[in-house]
Amino acid sequence: MNHFEPIDGELACEGVLLSDIAQAVGTPVYVYSSATLERHYNVLRQALAAEGLKGENGGEALIAFAVKANSNLAVLKVLAQQGAGADTVSEGEIRRALAAGIPAHKIVFSGVGKTASELAFALKAGVSEINVESEPEIHLASQVAQSLGTRAVIAIRVNPDVSAGGHAKIATGKADNKFGVSFSEAERLYAQASNNAGLRPVGITCHIGSQITDLAPMATAFSKMKGLVQRLRGEGLAVERLDLGGGLGAPYFNQPTPPSPADYAQMIAQTMGDLDVAYSFEPGRMIAANAGILLSQVLHIHRRPEGRQFAVLDAAMNDLIRPAMYDAYHDIKPVLVRQGPMETYDVVGPICETGDTFTRERDLPPLEAGDLVAFLSAGAYGAVMSSQYNSRLLVPEVLVRGDQFAVVRPRPTYEAMLDQDVVPDWL
Ligand SMILES: *Cc1c(COP(=O)(O)O)cnc(C)c1O
């Protein structure tokens, strides 16, 4: 469920008409619904609690929002106020999480290639855990921690070698992906880490992909994770935490429906039985995707004599790259629906490459130049992947709460864009 519904026939976000936002801020612009963010976070939280999946000291399981899905400080603050933690993959993301008011003890530092200085920053900040992905990274974490006179709290990322479906570019759980170590390596490394003066291994973690719509591969992976916890404990090693990653799909219109958070939690409870660990999760997409839209204006309707019609928008692949990069499908809705029979459009941006096509041959209500359209389900992996390609200004972001809205990242000026470059004085 989300809060992008019409008011008197005109598409709105919560209590704010999208046309009012377009008028005040211009287009293209991302618009986020704080009520939807809160709702998605709390639906998951309640589902986990209902199945008895607990966190540290018998408290709630940690839901560490994957900051890479949407890293706007205002979005993070909405989630922080609900009690969310953060799953981060760079020093920049740790800094964002802290700046948004997420306490360090709820921040997980993940990622395949952390630098020594990023590890030092994370350790000084006191993050909850560092999810290490390879043997060299474990050694580096140990060295950095010892040089700071501390121990790095680590979880070892295991690659469960399962195919979770979804697009190849976002599948992460097969042995030939770059992520994590095998089960046998994890056992050896966990034992080693337990005897290392710079490390305190507290658990294991996995994350097998994104936009997963089938629980079966997750259940397979999680049951292997349970087996590893039991084997490690059998060797006398302490395993306090189990981080099961993110990856649960979000409902995208016209795409396979993902399992509900309740079904997901139930599957985990059934798979884990009475395994006594503190659970944590790293959802990104399922919280943010349907909490955001990209609002754009039709520049022209370009009709080819052969009959093809192109709706040329003021948004482009640099603003929303998912269709070009992942063949992603976004529902497109006119903000005001014109009367008349459906028409077939290729919806495209103005960038000079064919990849700048949002969709081909989509049946939509009739469109005319000047109309506003919304790309739904654009709150995750949307603005965070935007760029200035073609020297287009970075797309702004707006957050709505009830009947108020605020620009939470302004559109830069052309001067600011040019000021980013430096021409050396010897030219
Ligand atoms: C990308 C990522 C996530 C979030 O994935 P979603 O599909 O957005 O839930 C969580 N954990 C790790 C380690 C990731 O790389």
Q: Are 193 and 199 in contact (CB under 8 A)?
A: yes
Please give the model's pTM, rounded to 2 decimal places: 0.96
Cα 186 to Cα 297: distance, rounded to the nearest angstrom = 51
Which atom of ligand 1 approaches the CA of 210 most closely?
A: 7
Does 258 sit in the ligand 1 pocket, CB within 6 Å?
Answer: no
> Higher-confidence residue: 156 or 355?
156
Q: Ligand 1: distance of its center to the CA of 166 in Å?
A: 13
Architecture of domain 4-31+289-419: Beta Barrel (2.40)
**Which CATH class, in words, describes the domain spanning 34-286?**
alpha beta
Which atom of ligand 1 approaches the CA of 68 most closely?
A: 1
Which atom of ligand 1 approaches the CA of 288 most closely?
A: 8
Ligand 1 pocket test, candidate residues 37, 40, 65, 68, most atoms within 8 A of CB:
68
Q: Ligand 1: distance of its center to the CA of 211 in Å?
A: 9
Q: Ligand 1: distance of its center to the CA of 68 in Å?
A: 8
Tell me the per-residue pLDDT of 363-402, one tens digit each, with 9 for 90 and over. 999 999 999 999 999 999 999 999 999 999 999 999 999 9
Tell me the per-residue pLDDT of 197-232, one tens digit each, with 9 for 90 and over. 999 999 999 999 899 999 999 999 999 999 999 999
What pLDDT, on the 0 to 100 scale, is given for residue 163?
Answer: 79
287 pLDDT exceeds 80? yes
DSSP 301-327: EEE-TTS-EEEEES--TTT--HHHHH-
Does 87 sit in the ligand 1 pocket, CB within 6 Å?
Answer: yes
Q: Ligand 1: distance of its center to the CA of 107 in Å?
A: 14
Coil, strand or helix at 39:
helix
Which sequence positions are flagged as catalytic? Answer: 352
The three-point CA angle 198-204-207 to 5° equals: 125
Which atom of ligand 1 approaches the CA of 205 most closely?
A: 13
Does 245 sit in the ligand 1 pocket, CB within 6 Å?
Answer: yes
Match 């900040």 to its residue by tokens. 125
Does 203 sit in the ligand 1 pocket, CB within 6 Å?
Answer: no
How many Cα atoms are found within 13 Å in the side-chain-facing hemisphere of 420?
A: 9
Residue 342, φ and ψ in degrees, nearest 5: -60, 150
Does 246 sit in the ligand 1 pocket, CB within 6 Å?
Answer: yes
Tell me the per-residue pLDDT of 326-374, one tens digit each, with 9 for 90 and over. 999 999 999 999 999 999 999 999 998 888 999 999 999 999 999 999 9
Q: Ligand 1: distance of its center to the CA of 130 in Å?
A: 15
Per-domain residue ranges of the chain: 4-31+289-419, 34-286
Residue of 142, 120, 123 lying closest to 192 (CA atoms): 142
Does 220 sit in the ligand 1 pocket, CB within 6 Å?
Answer: no
- The amino acid sitting at 151 is R
Which atom of ligand 1 approaches the CA of 172 most closely?
A: 15
82 pLDDT exceeds 70? yes
166 pLDDT exceeds 70? no
Does 68 sit in the ligand 1 pocket, CB within 6 Å?
Answer: yes
Mean pLDDT of 180-203: 96
What pLDDT, on the 0 to 100 scale, is given for residue 165?
Answer: 63
Q: Ligand 1: distance of its center to the CA of 182 in Å?
A: 19
